[in-house]
Structure 1
Amino acid sequence: MGALEEIRYAIEEGKPRTVLKVLQDAVNSGMDPEHILNDAMLPAMRKVGHFYRDEDGDVARILAAARAMKKGMDFLEPYMEQDYFGYLGKVILGTAGGDLHDVGKNLVGIMFRSVGFDVVDLGVDVSARRFVEAVKDNPDVDIVCISSLLTTSMPEMRRIVHALNALHNRKDFKVMVGGGPITRTFADEIGADGYTENAVDAAEIARSSMIS
Protein backbone atom coordinates (compact mmCIF):
# COMPACT_ATOMS: atom_id res chain seq x y z
CA MET A 1 0.00 0.00 0.00
CA GLY A 2 1.40 3.38 -1.03
CA ALA A 3 1.53 6.46 1.16
CA LEU A 4 -1.61 8.07 -0.31
CA GLU A 5 -3.57 4.84 0.06
CA GLU A 6 -2.43 4.55 3.69
CA ILE A 7 -3.60 8.08 4.42
CA ARG A 8 -6.97 7.51 2.77
CA TYR A 9 -7.48 4.23 4.62
CA ALA A 10 -6.55 5.74 8.00
CA ILE A 11 -9.04 8.58 7.55
CA GLU A 12 -11.82 6.32 6.27
CA GLU A 13 -11.31 4.03 9.27
CA GLY A 14 -11.26 6.97 11.69
CA LYS A 15 -7.76 6.41 13.11
CA PRO A 16 -6.28 9.83 13.97
CA ARG A 17 -3.00 8.48 15.43
CA THR A 18 -2.35 6.48 12.29
CA VAL A 19 -3.24 9.51 10.18
CA LEU A 20 -0.65 11.62 11.99
CA LYS A 21 2.03 8.93 11.61
CA VAL A 22 1.51 8.34 7.89
CA LEU A 23 1.27 12.08 7.23
CA GLN A 24 4.56 12.65 9.03
CA ASP A 25 6.20 9.89 6.99
CA ALA A 26 4.79 11.32 3.76
CA VAL A 27 5.99 14.85 4.52
CA ASN A 28 9.42 13.58 5.61
CA SER A 29 9.75 11.72 2.31
CA GLY A 30 9.26 15.00 0.45
CA MET A 31 5.67 14.49 -0.72
CA ASP A 32 3.90 17.72 -1.62
CA PRO A 33 1.37 18.63 1.12
CA GLU A 34 -1.18 19.95 -1.37
CA HIS A 35 -0.88 16.68 -3.28
CA ILE A 36 -1.55 14.79 -0.04
CA LEU A 37 -4.62 16.91 0.68
CA ASN A 38 -6.16 16.77 -2.79
CA ASP A 39 -5.32 13.16 -3.69
CA ALA A 40 -5.68 11.39 -0.36
CA MET A 41 -7.43 13.32 2.40
CA LEU A 42 -10.27 14.97 0.48
CA PRO A 43 -11.10 11.82 -1.53
CA ALA A 44 -11.26 9.88 1.74
CA MET A 45 -13.76 12.31 3.24
CA ARG A 46 -15.73 12.43 0.00
CA LYS A 47 -16.08 8.64 0.21
CA VAL A 48 -17.17 8.88 3.85
CA GLY A 49 -19.67 11.57 2.88
CA HIS A 50 -21.16 9.28 0.26
CA PHE A 51 -21.40 6.49 2.85
CA TYR A 52 -23.53 8.79 4.97
CA ARG A 53 -25.62 10.07 2.09
CA ASP A 54 -26.37 6.52 0.96
CA GLU A 55 -26.88 5.34 4.55
CA ASP A 56 -24.17 2.74 3.98
CA GLY A 57 -22.16 3.39 7.10
CA ASP A 58 -22.65 3.72 10.82
CA VAL A 59 -22.73 7.11 12.48
CA ALA A 60 -19.85 6.42 14.89
CA ARG A 61 -17.50 5.49 12.06
CA ILE A 62 -18.44 8.55 10.02
CA LEU A 63 -17.77 10.91 12.94
CA ALA A 64 -14.51 9.11 13.73
CA ALA A 65 -13.42 9.66 10.13
CA ALA A 66 -14.32 13.35 10.42
CA ARG A 67 -12.23 13.68 13.58
CA ALA A 68 -9.30 11.92 11.92
CA MET A 69 -9.61 14.32 8.99
CA LYS A 70 -9.57 17.31 11.35
CA LYS A 71 -6.40 16.01 13.05
CA GLY A 72 -4.81 15.55 9.66
CA MET A 73 -5.75 19.07 8.54
CA ASP A 74 -4.30 20.55 11.72
CA PHE A 75 -1.06 18.63 11.16
CA LEU A 76 -0.78 19.59 7.50
CA GLU A 77 -1.56 23.30 7.91
CA PRO A 78 2.01 24.45 8.78
CA TYR A 79 3.31 22.74 5.65
CA MET A 80 0.83 24.35 3.26
CA GLU A 81 1.31 27.62 1.41
CA GLN A 82 0.81 30.65 3.61
CA ASP A 83 -2.88 31.42 4.28
CA TYR A 84 -4.07 28.22 2.55
CA PHE A 85 -6.15 27.48 5.65
CA GLY A 86 -6.40 31.10 6.76
CA TYR A 87 -9.68 32.71 7.86
CA LEU A 88 -12.07 32.72 4.93
CA GLY A 89 -15.30 33.95 6.46
CA LYS A 90 -18.31 33.02 8.56
CA VAL A 91 -20.85 30.27 7.95
CA ILE A 92 -24.24 29.79 9.60
CA LEU A 93 -25.25 26.16 9.58
CA GLY A 94 -28.39 24.28 10.58
CA THR A 95 -30.77 21.44 9.81
CA ALA A 96 -34.17 22.53 8.52
CA GLY A 97 -37.16 22.55 10.84
CA GLY A 98 -38.85 19.17 11.24
CA ASP A 99 -35.57 17.27 10.85
CA LEU A 100 -33.55 16.09 13.86
CA HIS A 101 -30.64 14.56 11.91
CA ASP A 102 -27.31 16.13 12.85
CA VAL A 103 -24.55 13.81 11.57
CA GLY A 104 -24.50 15.25 8.06
CA LYS A 105 -24.66 18.78 9.46
CA ASN A 106 -21.82 18.05 11.88
CA LEU A 107 -19.72 16.62 9.05
CA VAL A 108 -20.29 19.78 7.03
CA GLY A 109 -19.32 21.89 10.05
CA ILE A 110 -16.06 19.98 10.54
CA MET A 111 -15.15 20.36 6.87
CA PHE A 112 -15.92 24.08 6.85
CA ARG A 113 -13.81 24.66 9.95
CA SER A 114 -11.01 22.60 8.44
CA VAL A 115 -10.66 24.86 5.42
CA GLY A 116 -10.78 28.13 7.35
CA PHE A 117 -14.37 29.14 8.14
CA ASP A 118 -15.82 30.28 11.46
CA VAL A 119 -18.98 28.18 11.91
CA VAL A 120 -22.12 29.21 13.79
CA ASP A 121 -24.01 25.94 14.30
CA LEU A 122 -27.72 26.47 14.99
CA GLY A 123 -28.34 22.76 15.55
CA VAL A 124 -31.30 20.76 14.28
CA ASP A 125 -35.00 21.48 13.71
CA VAL A 126 -34.19 25.12 12.92
CA SER A 127 -37.06 27.34 11.79
CA ALA A 128 -36.99 30.05 9.15
CA ARG A 129 -37.35 32.63 11.91
CA ARG A 130 -34.27 31.28 13.73
CA PHE A 131 -32.18 31.40 10.55
CA VAL A 132 -33.24 34.99 9.93
CA GLU A 133 -32.42 35.94 13.52
CA ALA A 134 -28.99 34.32 13.18
CA VAL A 135 -28.24 36.33 10.04
CA LYS A 136 -29.27 39.54 11.79
CA ASP A 137 -27.12 38.61 14.81
CA ASN A 138 -24.17 37.88 12.51
CA PRO A 139 -24.12 40.65 9.90
CA ASP A 140 -20.68 39.51 8.76
CA VAL A 141 -21.98 36.10 7.64
CA ASP A 142 -20.77 34.98 4.22
CA ILE A 143 -22.64 31.70 3.71
CA VAL A 144 -25.82 30.19 5.16
CA CYS A 145 -25.99 26.39 4.87
CA ILE A 146 -29.24 24.47 5.32
CA SER A 147 -29.37 20.68 5.43
CA SER A 148 -32.22 18.22 5.28
CA LEU A 149 -32.30 14.42 5.39
CA LEU A 150 -36.09 14.11 5.29
CA THR A 151 -38.46 14.84 2.43
CA THR A 152 -40.96 16.06 5.04
CA SER A 153 -38.64 18.94 5.98
CA MET A 154 -38.16 20.14 2.40
CA PRO A 155 -41.14 22.56 2.61
CA GLU A 156 -39.49 24.15 5.65
CA MET A 157 -36.22 24.46 3.72
CA ARG A 158 -38.18 26.27 1.04
CA ARG A 159 -39.63 28.64 3.67
CA ILE A 160 -36.17 29.25 5.13
CA VAL A 161 -34.66 30.18 1.77
CA HIS A 162 -37.66 32.37 0.95
CA ALA A 163 -37.27 34.22 4.26
CA LEU A 164 -33.53 34.66 3.73
CA ASN A 165 -34.06 35.93 0.19
CA ALA A 166 -36.35 38.63 1.55
CA LEU A 167 -33.65 40.14 3.79
CA HIS A 168 -32.29 43.54 2.81
CA ASN A 169 -28.69 42.31 2.98
CA ARG A 170 -29.31 39.13 0.94
CA LYS A 171 -26.70 40.16 -1.63
CA ASP A 172 -24.04 40.03 1.09
CA PHE A 173 -24.22 36.27 1.68
CA LYS A 174 -24.72 33.02 -0.22
CA VAL A 175 -27.27 30.31 0.58
CA MET A 176 -26.21 26.68 0.16
CA VAL A 177 -28.47 23.64 0.60
CA GLY A 178 -27.88 19.91 0.69
CA GLY A 179 -28.88 16.57 2.14
CA GLY A 180 -30.22 13.19 1.06
CA PRO A 181 -33.48 14.21 -0.70
CA ILE A 182 -32.21 17.56 -2.01
CA THR A 183 -31.40 17.94 -5.70
CA ARG A 184 -29.88 20.72 -7.76
CA THR A 185 -33.25 21.24 -9.43
CA PHE A 186 -34.94 21.75 -6.06
CA ALA A 187 -32.14 24.10 -4.93
CA ASP A 188 -32.61 26.24 -8.05
CA GLU A 189 -36.38 26.14 -7.67
CA ILE A 190 -36.37 27.51 -4.12
CA GLY A 191 -33.80 30.23 -4.87
CA ALA A 192 -30.65 28.88 -3.23
CA ASP A 193 -27.27 29.93 -4.61
CA GLY A 194 -25.61 26.54 -4.36
CA TYR A 195 -26.12 22.82 -3.88
CA THR A 196 -23.69 20.01 -3.13
CA GLU A 197 -24.05 16.28 -2.58
CA ASN A 198 -21.57 15.96 0.28
CA ALA A 199 -19.66 17.84 2.97
CA VAL A 200 -16.31 17.88 1.17
CA ASP A 201 -17.74 19.42 -1.97
CA ALA A 202 -19.65 21.99 0.11
CA ALA A 203 -16.48 23.14 1.85
CA GLU A 204 -14.39 23.13 -1.32
CA ILE A 205 -16.97 25.09 -3.33
CA ALA A 206 -17.35 27.57 -0.49
CA ARG A 207 -13.59 27.95 -0.19
CA SER A 208 -13.19 28.48 -3.93
CA SER A 209 -15.91 31.12 -3.97
CA MET A 210 -14.29 33.03 -1.12
CA ILE A 211 -10.76 33.10 -2.57
CA SER A 212 -11.70 33.68 -6.21
Structure 2
Amino acid sequence: MNNMYEQITESLIKGRYTEVAELTQKALDEGYEPKEIINEALLTGMNEVGELFSDGEMFVPEVLVAAKAMASGMDLLKPLLKEGDVTSAGKCIFCTVKGDLHDIGKKLVAMMLEGAGYEIVDLGVDVGPEAIIEAVKEHQPDIIGMSAMLTTTMMSMKETVEALKENGMYDKLQVMIGGAPVSTNYADQIGASFSADAAAAVDLANRLMA
Protein backbone atom coordinates (compact mmCIF):
# COMPACT_ATOMS: atom_id res chain seq x y z
CA MET A 1 0.00 0.00 0.00
CA ASN A 2 1.12 3.54 -0.79
CA ASN A 3 2.86 5.21 2.19
CA MET A 4 0.76 8.41 1.97
CA TYR A 5 -2.48 6.41 2.04
CA GLU A 6 -1.16 4.33 4.95
CA GLN A 7 -0.46 7.48 6.98
CA ILE A 8 -3.96 8.85 6.35
CA THR A 9 -5.56 5.49 7.20
CA GLU A 10 -3.56 5.16 10.42
CA SER A 11 -4.38 8.71 11.54
CA LEU A 12 -8.08 8.12 10.81
CA ILE A 13 -8.18 4.92 12.88
CA LYS A 14 -6.54 6.80 15.78
CA GLY A 15 -9.10 9.61 15.39
CA ARG A 16 -6.51 12.33 14.72
CA TYR A 17 -8.78 14.57 12.68
CA THR A 18 -6.38 17.55 12.34
CA GLU A 19 -3.69 15.17 11.10
CA VAL A 20 -6.09 13.55 8.60
CA ALA A 21 -6.98 16.96 7.18
CA GLU A 22 -3.30 17.98 6.95
CA LEU A 23 -2.26 14.70 5.28
CA THR A 24 -5.21 14.87 2.88
CA GLN A 25 -4.20 18.38 1.86
CA LYS A 26 -0.59 17.24 1.47
CA ALA A 27 -1.71 14.36 -0.76
CA LEU A 28 -3.70 16.80 -2.93
CA ASP A 29 -0.72 19.18 -3.14
CA GLU A 30 1.42 16.25 -4.30
CA GLY A 31 -1.02 15.47 -7.10
CA TYR A 32 -2.96 12.52 -5.70
CA GLU A 33 -6.46 12.05 -7.17
CA PRO A 34 -9.32 12.93 -4.76
CA LYS A 35 -11.25 9.72 -5.53
CA GLU A 36 -8.12 7.62 -4.92
CA ILE A 37 -7.54 9.30 -1.54
CA ILE A 38 -11.15 8.47 -0.60
CA ASN A 39 -11.06 4.85 -1.78
CA GLU A 40 -7.52 3.91 -0.80
CA ALA A 41 -7.13 5.87 2.47
CA LEU A 42 -10.39 7.12 4.03
CA LEU A 43 -12.73 4.23 3.18
CA THR A 44 -9.98 1.70 3.94
CA GLY A 45 -9.54 3.30 7.38
CA MET A 46 -13.28 3.40 8.10
CA ASN A 47 -13.69 -0.24 7.05
CA GLU A 48 -10.94 -1.17 9.49
CA VAL A 49 -12.68 0.86 12.21
CA GLY A 50 -15.87 -1.12 11.48
CA GLU A 51 -14.01 -4.42 11.86
CA LEU A 52 -12.34 -3.33 15.12
CA PHE A 53 -15.72 -2.18 16.48
CA SER A 54 -17.31 -5.47 15.42
CA ASP A 55 -14.54 -7.43 17.18
CA GLY A 56 -14.97 -5.42 20.39
CA GLU A 57 -11.53 -3.83 20.06
CA MET A 58 -12.96 -0.35 19.53
CA PHE A 59 -15.85 1.35 21.32
CA VAL A 60 -18.51 3.92 20.44
CA PRO A 61 -16.55 7.06 21.51
CA GLU A 62 -13.51 5.99 19.46
CA VAL A 63 -15.64 5.20 16.42
CA LEU A 64 -17.29 8.64 16.63
CA VAL A 65 -13.86 10.31 16.74
CA ALA A 66 -12.65 8.20 13.78
CA ALA A 67 -15.76 9.22 11.83
CA LYS A 68 -15.01 12.87 12.64
CA ALA A 69 -11.48 12.29 11.31
CA MET A 70 -12.90 10.84 8.10
CA ALA A 71 -15.20 13.85 7.74
CA SER A 72 -12.22 16.23 8.06
CA GLY A 73 -10.67 14.59 5.00
CA MET A 74 -13.95 14.33 3.07
CA ASP A 75 -14.65 18.06 3.58
CA LEU A 76 -11.52 18.83 1.56
CA LEU A 77 -12.15 16.21 -1.12
CA LYS A 78 -15.89 16.49 -1.83
CA PRO A 79 -15.71 19.87 -3.65
CA LEU A 80 -12.99 18.44 -5.96
CA LEU A 81 -14.85 15.31 -7.04
CA LYS A 82 -16.03 15.03 -10.60
CA GLU A 83 -19.35 13.44 -11.62
CA GLY A 84 -18.95 9.66 -11.43
CA ASP A 85 -15.70 9.78 -9.40
CA VAL A 86 -17.15 7.93 -6.45
CA THR A 87 -19.72 5.20 -6.90
CA SER A 88 -22.31 5.31 -4.12
CA ALA A 89 -23.16 1.96 -2.53
CA GLY A 90 -26.72 3.30 -2.13
CA LYS A 91 -28.66 6.17 -0.60
CA CYS A 92 -29.99 5.89 2.97
CA ILE A 93 -32.36 8.09 4.94
CA PHE A 94 -31.81 7.88 8.71
CA CYS A 95 -33.82 9.11 11.67
CA THR A 96 -34.79 8.47 15.26
CA VAL A 97 -38.56 8.03 15.28
CA LYS A 98 -41.30 10.30 16.63
CA GLY A 99 -41.22 10.91 20.38
CA ASP A 100 -37.61 9.70 20.70
CA LEU A 101 -34.65 12.06 21.15
CA HIS A 102 -31.83 9.49 21.31
CA ASP A 103 -29.17 10.28 18.77
CA ILE A 104 -25.88 8.41 19.32
CA GLY A 105 -26.88 4.97 18.02
CA LYS A 106 -28.47 6.38 14.89
CA LYS A 107 -25.47 8.66 14.28
CA LEU A 108 -23.06 5.77 14.70
CA VAL A 109 -24.91 3.59 12.17
CA ALA A 110 -25.07 6.50 9.71
CA MET A 111 -21.31 7.12 10.09
CA MET A 112 -20.45 3.45 9.63
CA LEU A 113 -22.56 3.28 6.48
CA GLU A 114 -21.05 6.50 5.17
CA GLY A 115 -17.65 4.94 5.78
CA ALA A 116 -18.80 1.95 3.70
CA GLY A 117 -19.60 4.23 0.75
CA TYR A 118 -23.30 4.95 1.30
CA GLU A 119 -24.83 8.37 0.73
CA ILE A 120 -26.51 9.43 3.98
CA VAL A 121 -29.44 11.79 4.58
CA ASP A 122 -29.85 12.26 8.35
CA LEU A 123 -33.30 13.60 9.28
CA GLY A 124 -32.38 13.87 12.97
CA VAL A 125 -34.54 12.87 15.94
CA ASP A 126 -38.28 12.86 16.76
CA VAL A 127 -39.24 12.24 13.12
CA GLY A 128 -42.80 11.14 12.36
CA PRO A 129 -44.15 9.06 9.43
CA GLU A 130 -45.31 12.15 7.48
CA ALA A 131 -41.83 13.69 7.51
CA ILE A 132 -40.30 10.38 6.40
CA ILE A 133 -42.76 10.11 3.49
CA GLU A 134 -41.82 13.66 2.39
CA ALA A 135 -38.11 12.81 2.65
CA VAL A 136 -38.60 9.67 0.52
CA LYS A 137 -40.34 11.77 -2.17
CA GLU A 138 -37.49 14.28 -2.10
CA HIS A 139 -34.44 11.99 -1.86
CA GLN A 140 -35.60 8.71 -3.48
CA PRO A 141 -33.52 6.51 -1.11
CA ASP A 142 -32.69 2.81 -1.43
CA ILE A 143 -32.88 2.28 2.33
CA ILE A 144 -34.72 3.88 5.26
CA GLY A 145 -33.08 3.37 8.66
CA MET A 146 -35.11 4.03 11.81
CA SER A 147 -33.93 3.95 15.41
CA ALA A 148 -35.95 3.74 18.63
CA MET A 149 -34.52 3.51 22.14
CA LEU A 150 -37.85 3.40 24.00
CA THR A 151 -40.55 0.71 23.85
CA THR A 152 -43.11 3.52 23.72
CA THR A 153 -41.69 4.96 20.48
CA MET A 154 -41.30 1.65 18.60
CA MET A 155 -44.91 1.94 17.45
CA SER A 156 -43.88 4.82 15.20
CA MET A 157 -41.79 2.36 13.15
CA LYS A 158 -44.89 0.28 12.41
CA GLU A 159 -46.87 3.42 11.52
CA THR A 160 -44.09 4.50 9.14
CA VAL A 161 -44.03 1.12 7.36
CA GLU A 162 -47.83 1.31 7.01
CA ALA A 163 -47.55 4.86 5.62
CA LEU A 164 -44.93 3.69 3.10
CA LYS A 165 -47.31 0.95 1.96
CA GLU A 166 -50.25 3.38 1.68
CA ASN A 167 -48.14 5.72 -0.44
CA GLY A 168 -46.93 2.94 -2.77
CA MET A 169 -43.31 3.36 -1.64
CA TYR A 170 -42.72 0.22 0.41
CA ASP A 171 -41.84 -2.09 -2.51
CA LYS A 172 -39.32 0.38 -3.92
CA LEU A 173 -37.00 0.49 -0.91
CA GLN A 174 -35.66 -1.44 2.08
CA VAL A 175 -36.50 -0.64 5.71
CA MET A 176 -33.89 -1.18 8.44
CA ILE A 177 -34.67 -0.75 12.13
CA GLY A 178 -32.64 -0.93 15.34
CA GLY A 179 -32.33 0.27 18.93
CA ALA A 180 -32.27 -1.21 22.42
CA PRO A 181 -35.89 -2.48 22.66
CA VAL A 182 -36.13 -3.56 18.99
CA SER A 183 -35.82 -7.23 17.97
CA THR A 184 -35.80 -9.45 14.89
CA ASN A 185 -39.26 -10.60 15.91
CA TYR A 186 -40.62 -7.04 15.92
CA ALA A 187 -38.93 -6.28 12.58
CA ASP A 188 -40.55 -9.38 11.03
CA GLN A 189 -43.96 -8.34 12.42
CA ILE A 190 -43.88 -4.89 10.82
CA GLY A 191 -42.09 -5.83 7.58
CA ALA A 192 -38.61 -4.46 8.24
CA SER A 193 -35.06 -5.82 8.67
CA PHE A 194 -33.36 -5.73 12.08
CA SER A 195 -29.79 -4.71 12.80
CA ALA A 196 -28.39 -5.40 16.28
CA ASP A 197 -25.63 -2.77 16.14
CA ALA A 198 -23.71 -0.39 13.89
CA ALA A 199 -21.28 -3.00 12.56
CA ALA A 200 -24.12 -5.40 11.73
CA ALA A 201 -25.96 -2.53 9.99
CA VAL A 202 -23.28 -2.31 7.29
CA ASP A 203 -23.51 -6.06 6.57
CA LEU A 204 -27.30 -5.84 6.55
CA ALA A 205 -27.33 -2.84 4.18
CA ASN A 206 -24.93 -4.64 1.82
CA ARG A 207 -27.16 -7.75 1.84
CA LEU A 208 -30.30 -5.69 1.21
CA MET A 209 -28.64 -3.81 -1.66
CA ALA A 210 -27.44 -7.09 -3.22
**Range into which the TM-score falls when normalised by the shorter chain:** 0.5 to 0.7
Fraction of identical pairs, as percent = 36
Question: Are positions 1:45 and 2:53 aligned together?
Answer: yes
In the alignment, residue 201 of structure 1 is paired with which amino acid?
A
Residue matched to 2:31: none
Task: Please give the per-residue CA displacement for 1:83-135, whole angstroms capped at 9, x wherever unaligned.
Answer: 9x721221111001111111111111112222222211111000011111111
* TM-score, L = length of structure 1: 0.67
Q: Specify the SS of the correspondent of 2:154.
A: helix
2:151 maps to amino acid? T
Alpha-carbon shift at residue 203 of structure 1 (Å): 2.0
Pair 1:15–1:125, CA change in 2 (3 A):
same
Q: In the aligned structure 2, how far is the partner of 1:195 from the partner of 1:89?
A: 18
Quote the offset at 1:137 in angstroms.
Answer: 1.9
- Is 1:185 the counterpart of 2:202? The answer is no
Aligned to 2:29: none
More divergent stretch after superposition (88-97 vs 156-165): 156-165
- Aligned CA RMSD, in angstroms, stands at 4.0
Cα distance in 2 between the residues matched to 1:70 and 1:205: 23
CA–CA distance in 2 between the matches of 1:62 and 1:73? Answer: 16
Which residue in the other structure is 1:125 paired with? 126
Corresponding residue number in structure 1 for 2:199: 200
Q: Is the 8 A contact 1:93 1:145 kept in 2?
A: yes
**Amino acid in the other structure paired with 1:198:** D
Structure 2 distance, partners of 1:50, 1:38, is 12
Matched positions, count: 184
Q: Would you say the 8 A contact 1:115–1:207 is kept in 2?
A: no
CA contact (8 A) 1:94 1:147 kept: yes
Q: Is the 8 A contact 1:45 1:65 kept in 2?
A: no
Unaligned runs of 5+ in 1: 1-6, 22-32, 53-57, 75-82
Structure-2-length-normalised TM-score: 0.67
Q: Where do residues 56-71 of structure 1 align in structure 2 (5 Å cutoff)?
A: 61-68=62-69
